[in-house]
């Protein structure tokens, strides 16, 4: 490689780190700016805490990328809300809306950690349209009230048959999915409510949740898929908490062109594969792309797929960025180091706790030691403040641990 460009990756999730990987391998100077202290994004902060193997494998690869001499990692708190440290109070009768893997994770957390009495899964369409991965459901299938599920199939069976679905076949498929259930850790009862669309959260005079108003739906065939259509008949489900495990949106406050939950990308397709336009940020008012600004992963398509999908998206994006840089004049070596210096000075000026890869290495060592001391598989400092306090206490930091 001859040209050495200065590439800033915003976000150290699977997609951003795939870009950092590709760009640094090409020899560019890469800065990774992250909102969370630790890298990994939702693969670190979002996936269920007991997925040690998945997280461990990912971390190993990410450490390799972030300790390259031409990669500079900075945690920089940008005043966005600290979601990961918010407390989420739950009652005993929780309605969870959606039937994908996020619903499964939330039901898992509610049953094994919160030990709630009841989890009610609200599904706009029917059981044939369930979206969870059959392997994932094993974490919670022991909690499913099978008798109530049979009754639910009887309740919605005619509406399934109306679009050619066989309730018996779908029920037996679900039964097969429930054969390798993990042992239950509580008495939680999990019940499904199919063909029910949430309309309104019901509250009392103190604004506490008392229930969920649901509209009955029917299925309509739409091409190869089905859609839910409201029947204008309503019923209410008593509950004290409601969790939406559907949909997602990007952060409007970031400052990129935004519309309908997404950052706007170039509507004009190119002939390239992957298509550049899908990754180019686009200013609709000006009718032009934002030169040098690209989107990938969940920033490009909120809530799309698993870690592997985000990684692949980052790799495609890197190809588009490489094409973009091909005819750009690279900065000189001194311009590059000046840019890096300027950025560091700016970040330091805004925030005293600038966390770098070295600090994370020290943090990782401290967490490992604490895990060993407590004899548990993994110890994590619970809040950003705890992590920062530990990092401050330990500066200057230690060497890269072999087992990391
Ligand atoms: C509850 C849940 C469970 C999941 N379980 C699994 C699972 O078991 N297996 C699996 O394969 N996938 C799972 N996924 C999906 C997987 O986590 C995502 O596919 C993947 O993390 C998306 O990667 P990303 O890089 O696009 O975004 P993210 O992982 O969201 O990473 C975004 C990064 O950007 C940073 N950031 C955000 N805003 C800013 C900003 N303004 N400035 C700087 N940095 C910023 C964040 O700190 C974060 O590090 C799960 C997702 C969720 C929500």
Residue 351 has a pLDDT of 74
**Structure confidence by residue, pLDDT tens digits, 51-84:** 999 999 999 999 999 999 999 999 876 666 666 6
Question: Whose CA is closest to atom 40 on ligand 1?
Answer: 35
Residue 398 has a pLDDT of 45
**Structure confidence by residue, pLDDT tens digits, 338-373:** 999 999 999 888 877 889 999 999 999 999 999 999
Percent of the chain with pLDDT over 90: 84
Is the pLDDT assigned to residue 317 strictly greater than 80? yes
User: Is the CB–ligand 1 distance for residue 13 below 6 Å?
Assistant: yes
Burial class of residue 23 (count of CB atoms within 10 Å of its CB; 0-12, 13-18, 19+): buried
* Mutation probe of ligand 1 site: the residue of 9, 13, 83, 355 with most atoms within 8 A of C-beta: 13
Reply yes or no on domain 6-80+263-355 having CATH 3.60.21.10: no
CA of 302 to the centre of ligand 1 (A): 10
Cα–Cα distance between 381 and 374 in angstroms, integer? 13
CA of 112 to the centre of ligand 1 (A): 23
Cα–Cα distance between 152 and 139 in angstroms, integer? 22
Residue 274 has a pLDDT of 98
Is 63:381 a contact under the CB 8 Å cutoff? no
* Phi, psi (rounded to 5 degrees) for 69: -65, -25
Is the pLDDT assigned to residue 397 strictly greater than 60? no
- Residue 284, number of CB atoms within 10 A of its CB: 11
The topology (CATH level 3) of 90-239 is FAD/NAD(P)-binding domain (3.50.50)
Residue 396 has a pLDDT of 64
**Structure confidence by residue, pLDDT tens digits, 88-116:** 889 999 999 999 999 999 999 999 999 99
**Structure confidence by residue, pLDDT tens digits, 102-155:** 999 999 999 999 999 999 999 999 999 999 999 999 999 999 999 999 999 999
Is 240:93 a contact under the CB 8 Å cutoff? yes
Is 5:21 a contact under the CB 8 Å cutoff? no
Question: Binning pLDDT at 50, 70 and 90, where does residue 304 land?
Answer: confident
**Structure confidence by residue, pLDDT tens digits, 366-376:** 999 999 999 99
* Mutation probe of ligand 1 site: the residue of 14, 41, 73 with most atoms within 8 A of C-beta: 41
Is the pLDDT assigned to residue 303 strictly greater than 90? no
CA of 270 to the centre of ligand 1 (A): 28
**Structure confidence by residue, pLDDT tens digits, 24-55:** 999 999 999 998 999 999 999 888 888 999 99
| In the chain, where the domains are located | 6-80+263-355, 90-239
């Amino acid at each position: 490689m001859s040209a050495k460009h200065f590439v800033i990756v915003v976000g150290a999730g699977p997609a951003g780190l795939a870009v950092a990987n590709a760009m640094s391998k090409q020899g560019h100077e890469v800065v990774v700016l992250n909102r969370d202290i630790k890298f990994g994004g939702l693969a670190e902060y979002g996936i269920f805490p007991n997925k040690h193997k998945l997280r461990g494998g990912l971390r190993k690869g990410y450490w390799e990328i972030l300790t390259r001499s031409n990669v500079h990692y900075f945690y920089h708190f940008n005043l966005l809300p600290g979601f990961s440290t918010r407390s989420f109070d739950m009652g005993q009768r929780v309605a969870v809306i959606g039937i994908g893997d996020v619903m499964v994770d939330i039901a898992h957390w509610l049953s094994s950690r919160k030990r709630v009495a009841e989890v009610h899964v609200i599904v706009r369409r029917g059981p044939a349209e369930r979206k969870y991965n059959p392997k994932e459901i094993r974490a919670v299938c022991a909690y499913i009230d099978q008798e109530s599920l049979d009754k639910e199939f009887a309740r919605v069976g005619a509406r399934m048959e109306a679009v050619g679905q066989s309730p018996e076949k779908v029920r037996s498929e679900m039964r097969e999915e429930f054969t390798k259930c993990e042992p239950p850790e509580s008495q939680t009862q999990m019940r499904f409510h199919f063909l029910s669309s949430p309309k309104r959260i019901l509250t009392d005079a103190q604004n506490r949740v008392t229930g969920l108003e649901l509209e009955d739906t029917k299925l309509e065939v739409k091409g190869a898929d089905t859609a839910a259509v409201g029947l204008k008949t309503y019923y209410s489900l008593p509950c004290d908490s409601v969790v939406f495990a559907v949909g997602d949106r990007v952060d409007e406050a970031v400052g990129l062109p935004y519309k309908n939950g997404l950052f706007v990308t170039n509507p004009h397709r190119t002939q390239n594969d992957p298509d550049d336009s899908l990754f180019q940020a686009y200013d609709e008012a000006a009718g032009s792309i934002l030169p040098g600004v690209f989107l990938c992963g969940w920033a490009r398509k909120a809530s799309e797929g698993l870690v592997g999908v985000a990684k692949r998206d980052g790799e495609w994006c890197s190809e588009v960025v490489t094409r973009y840089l091909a005819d750009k004049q690279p900065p000189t070596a001194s311009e590059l180091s000046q840019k890096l210096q300027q950025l560091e000075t700016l970040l330091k000026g805004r925030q005293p706790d600038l966390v770098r890869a070295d600090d994370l290495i020290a943090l990782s060592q401290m967490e490992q030691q604490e895990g060993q001391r407590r004899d548990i598989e993994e110890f994590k400092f619970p809040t950003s403040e705890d992590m920062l306090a530990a990092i401050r206490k330990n500066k200057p930091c230690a060497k890269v641990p072999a087992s990391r």
